């Protein structure tokens, strides 16, 4: 396998708005990043990803861009951004920016021009359609927010397409001028010295322009078989790669959804020159029902095993590459969803970390994950919600469809993206040390127990465990380049696997339940189990004869 630094990296998603406020307005900013930059070095990460920092209408906190070449004023200035870049460079930390190529804000000058007249040169920057002769919409597709993807524009008497909010119109990637505009924007930031891009919603940029109706029975993203992994997607990504990589060294991580193994291989095999890795939320969506993501479903260890088998074996063995995450700015906290945020919060947070850092792929850490931060307990009324996706869901289900407000708020309370976006918990002072003012989202009341300072002071904290894992990954190539094989295939509690490189094997055993789990390692996997030695464990390690405690994670090293 070809060695690349971005395969060996640990990438930290720093959500600027919630990281650290330096001026008391309650919103995280560049001054806060500069103030806390030493923490990132202390943690040991070597790459930082910033979600959109561009001028935005703030409907979707940066993912509705008004100006791709200017900084959102509430975050700071271009000079401060350049200071952050310089400080990262001085510490050997690479910087990745989020680029949003699929859509803009409705307030972007391109769209202001485009909607004014069919004759305007910007009109073809977006996707327009007439309604059907019977008066119905051009197709029955539904957006990721659950509403129709078509909105009427009075000035030109036609509909425009938006796969997200009606405030986020989709760009027309079939127009070569649009593609060149996006490449020029990427070039602008590469010239400043950044090291790569996380490309938002990359596999929806090419649509089936026949706009056929869909038979899917889903609330969100109905019709995705026609607007994901579309007819020209690979041509466009290869063009992007060819256009920019001839002049710059950087890497790309493309956010994708509804992808199969053959899609990922086409996107990421190096000889195809498209993306360096993809990011998929498939594992993090195991607790969501397919027809409505706000409805929960029970998941099992078997479910996890099968999803990860596909990515680790079908994609990994085939030469593809991917990022690993269970938490990010669009999902609730992983310890609250996939583990135990009560009695077993600390060991279960460490277990999930062990899994993400010992699987094949590039691990992504979402800020606060390394502390074991949990869901906020009081998003119990719609007035407490900021998340545009959750607000849209409430409007659709309660106001339009007449569903029970209590039922819908129970779903939102569990699933809202706001859980991930509550302020970073730095210490035990007011507002967890995030701000001297009123924070834009409330601080989790458990901040006096869960915060950076307590993590620094406690050698057994979740934070210290993350630092150990990050250091291990830097020191042991087997964690990056080792082959992968699943063991204990039918175990109902334990997810077990082996990483192997040259004459070294690591055996990873994860009890993903709140009860003790017994196991036997098959002799065909390990011929002399007594030769093992413990690399890392989330409990004080005792070789207790093939029993794992609740949420115990242990990594054994085995010399052949």
Question: CATH no. for residue 115?
Answer: 3.90.400.10
CA–CA distance, 272 with 277 (Å, rounded to integer): 12
67 and 127, same domain (yes or no): no
In a domain, 166, yes or no: no
Q: Calculate the dihedral angle through the C-alpha atoms of 216, 217, 220, 226, rounding to the nearest 10 degrees.
A: 0
Please give the helix or strand (H or E) that residue 81 lies within, else none: helix 78-91
Residue 181 among the catalytic residues? no
DSSP secondary structure string for all residues of 226-239: HHSS-TTHHHHHHH
Residue 544, pLDDT score: 63
Report the DSSP pairing between strands 128-129 and 158-161.
antiparallel
CA–CA distance, 1 with 40 (Å, rounded to integer): 29
- Overall domain count for the chain: 3
CA–CA distance, 104 with 100 (Å, rounded to integer): 8
Query: Are residues 506 and 322 in contact, defined by beta-carbon separation less than 8 angstroms?
Result: no
Q: What are phi and psi of 85, to 5 degrees?
A: -60, -45
Q: How many CA atoms lie within 13 A of 16 on its CB side?
A: 23
CA–CA distance, 311 with 260 (Å, rounded to integer): 9
Name the token pair of 229: 């992994």
Residue 281, pLDDT score: 80
Q: What are phi and psi of 226, to 5 degrees?
A: -110, -10
Model confidence pLDDT, tens digit, residues 210-259: 999 999 999 999 999 999 999 999 999 999 999 999 999 999 999 999 99
Closest Cα partner for 13 from 356, 294, 242, 485? 356
188 and 301, same domain (yes or no): yes
20 and 122, same domain (yes or no): no
Residue 191, pLDDT score: 98
Residue 166 among the catalytic residues? no
Q: How far is CA 512 from CA 302, 340, 359, in A?
A: 11, 10, 15
337 and 432, same domain (yes or no): yes
In a domain, 205, yes or no: yes
358 and 280, same domain (yes or no): yes
Q: How far is CA 50 from CA 9, 219, 331, 458, in A?
A: 16, 30, 16, 28
Q: What are phi and psi of 30, to 5 degrees?
A: -65, -35
In a domain, 366, yes or no: yes
350 and 319, same domain (yes or no): yes
CA–CA distance, 361 with 202 (Å, rounded to integer): 19
Query: Are residues 326 and 299 in contact, defined by beta-carbon separation less than 8 angstroms?
Result: no
Residue 157, pLDDT score: 97
Angle, CA of 44, 80 and 386, to the nearest 5°:
80
Query: Are residues 353 and 462 in contact, defined by beta-carbon separation less than 8 angstroms?
Result: yes
Segments of 106-154 assigned E as strands:
128-129, 150-153
- Radius of gyration for the chain, computed over Cα atoms and rounded to the nearest angstrom: 23
286 and 390, same domain (yes or no): yes
CA–CA distance, 122 with 109 (Å, rounded to integer): 9
Helix 176-191 / helix 233-245 crossing angle, nearest 10 deg: 40
216 and 294, same domain (yes or no): yes
Catalytic member of 13, 98, 200, 418:
200
Sign of CA dihedral 39, 279, 76, 63: negative
155 and 90, same domain (yes or no): no
CA–CA distance, 442 with 384 (Å, rounded to integer): 9
Name the token pair of 66: 């008004």
CA–CA distance, 431 with 439 (Å, rounded to integer): 7
What is the CATH classification number for the domain harbouring 504?
2.60.40.1180
What is the CATH classification number for the domain harbouring 304?
3.20.20.80
Strand partners, 498: 485, 507
Residue stretches of the chain with pLDDT short of 50:
none
Sign of CA dihedral 104, 110, 112, 118: negative
CA–CA distance, 105 with 165 (Å, rounded to integer): 9
CA–CA distance, 172 with 180 (Å, rounded to integer): 12
Model confidence pLDDT, tens digit, residues 470-517: 999 999 999 999 999 999 999 999 999 999 999 899 999 999 999 999
In a domain, 202, yes or no: yes
Among the candidates 161, 189, 205, a domain finishes at 161
Among the candidates 424, 447, 469, a domain finishes at 469
In a domain, 279, yes or no: yes
In a domain, 388, yes or no: yes
Q: How far is CA 57 from CA 32, 168, 369, 398, 422, in A?
A: 22, 10, 28, 26, 20
Among the candidates 414, 435, 469, a domain finishes at 469
Give the range of the structural domain holding residue 342, as residue numbers without chain letter: 5-103+176-469
344 and 368, same domain (yes or no): yes
In a domain, 170, yes or no: no
Residue 542, pLDDT score: 77
Q: Calculate the dihedral angle through the C-alpha atoms of 72, 78, 83, 85, rounding to the nearest 10 degrees.
A: 80
Residue 350, pLDDT score: 98
44 and 79, same domain (yes or no): yes
Q: Determine the straight-line distance between the first and last CA of the chain, rounded to whole angstroms.
A: 21
Q: How many CB atoms lie within 10 A of CB 463?
A: 24
In a domain, 476, yes or no: no
CA–CA distance, 213 with 139 (Å, rounded to integer): 5
Catalytic member of 255, 274, 369, 552:
255
89 and 113, same domain (yes or no): no
């Amino acid at each position: 396998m070809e060695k690349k630094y971005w395969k060996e990296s640990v990438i930290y998603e720093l959500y600027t708005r919630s990281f650290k406020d330096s001026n008391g307005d309650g919103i995280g900013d560049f001054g806060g990043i500069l103030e806390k930059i030493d923490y990132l070095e202390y943690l040991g990460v070597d790459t930082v990803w910033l979600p959109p920092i561009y001028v935005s209408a703030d409907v979707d906190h940066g993912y509705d861009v008004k100006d791709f070449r200017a900084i959102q004023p509430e975050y700071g200035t271009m000079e401060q951004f350049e200071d952050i870049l310089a400080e990262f460079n001085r510490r050997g930390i690479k910087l990745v920016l989020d680029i949003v190529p699929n859509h803009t804000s409705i307030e972007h000058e391109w769209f202001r021009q485009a909607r004014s007249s069919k004759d305007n040169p910007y009109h073809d920057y977006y996707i327009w359609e007439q309604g059907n002769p019977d008066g119905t919409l051009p197709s029955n597709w539904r957006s990721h927010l659950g509403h129709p993807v078509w909105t009427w524009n009075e000035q030109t008497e036609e509909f425009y397409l938006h796969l997200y909010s009606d405030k986020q119109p989709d760009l027309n990637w079939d127009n070569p001028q649009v593609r060149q505009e996006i490449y020029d924007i990427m070039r602008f930031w590469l010239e400043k010295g950044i090291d790569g891009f996380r490309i938002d919603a990359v596999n929806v940029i090419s649509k089936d322009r026949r706009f056929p109706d869909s038979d899917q029975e889903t609330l969100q993203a109905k019709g995705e078989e026609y607007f994901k992994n579309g007819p020209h997607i690979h041509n466009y990504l290869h063009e992007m790669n060819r256009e920019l990589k001839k002049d710059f060294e950087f890497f790309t991580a493309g956010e994708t959804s509804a992808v199969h193994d053959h899609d990922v291989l086409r996107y990421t095999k190096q000889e195809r020159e498209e993306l360096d890795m993809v990011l998929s939320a498939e594992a993090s969506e195991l607790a969501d029902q397919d027809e409505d993501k706000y409805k929960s479903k029970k998941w099992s260890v078997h479910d996890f095993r099968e999803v990860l088998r596909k990515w680790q074996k079908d994609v990994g063995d085939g030469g593809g590459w991917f990022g690993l995450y269970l938490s990010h700015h669009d999902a609730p906290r992983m310890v609250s969803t996939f583990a135990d945020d009560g009695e077993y919060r600390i060991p279960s947070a460490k277990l999930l970390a062990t899994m993400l850092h010992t699987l094949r792929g590039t691990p992504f850490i979402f800020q606060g994950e390394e502390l074991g931060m949990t869901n906020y307990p009081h998003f119990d009324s719609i007035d407490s919600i900021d998340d545009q996706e959750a607000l849209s869901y409430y409007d659709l289900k309660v106001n339009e469809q007449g569903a029970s407000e209590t039922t819908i708020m129970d779903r939102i309370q569990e699933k809202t993206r706001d859980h991930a976006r509550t302020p970073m918990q730095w210490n035990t002072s007011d507002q967890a040390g995030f701000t001297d003012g009123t924070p834009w989202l409330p601080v989790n009341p458990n901040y006096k127990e869960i915060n950076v300072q307590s993590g620094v002071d406690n050698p057994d904290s979740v934070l210290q465990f993350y630092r150990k894992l990050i250091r291990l990954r830097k020191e042991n190539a087997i964690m990056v380049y080792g082959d992968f094989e699943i063991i204990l295939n039918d175990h109902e509690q334990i997810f077990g696997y082996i990483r192997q490189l040259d004459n070294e094997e690591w055996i990873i055993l994860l009890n993903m339940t709140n009860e003790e789990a017994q196991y036997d390692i098959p002799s065909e996997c390990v011929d002399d189990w007594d030769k093992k030695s413990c690399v890392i464990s989330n409990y004080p390690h005792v070789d207790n004869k093939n029993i794992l405690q609740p949420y115990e994670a242990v990594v054994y090293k085995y010399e052949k």
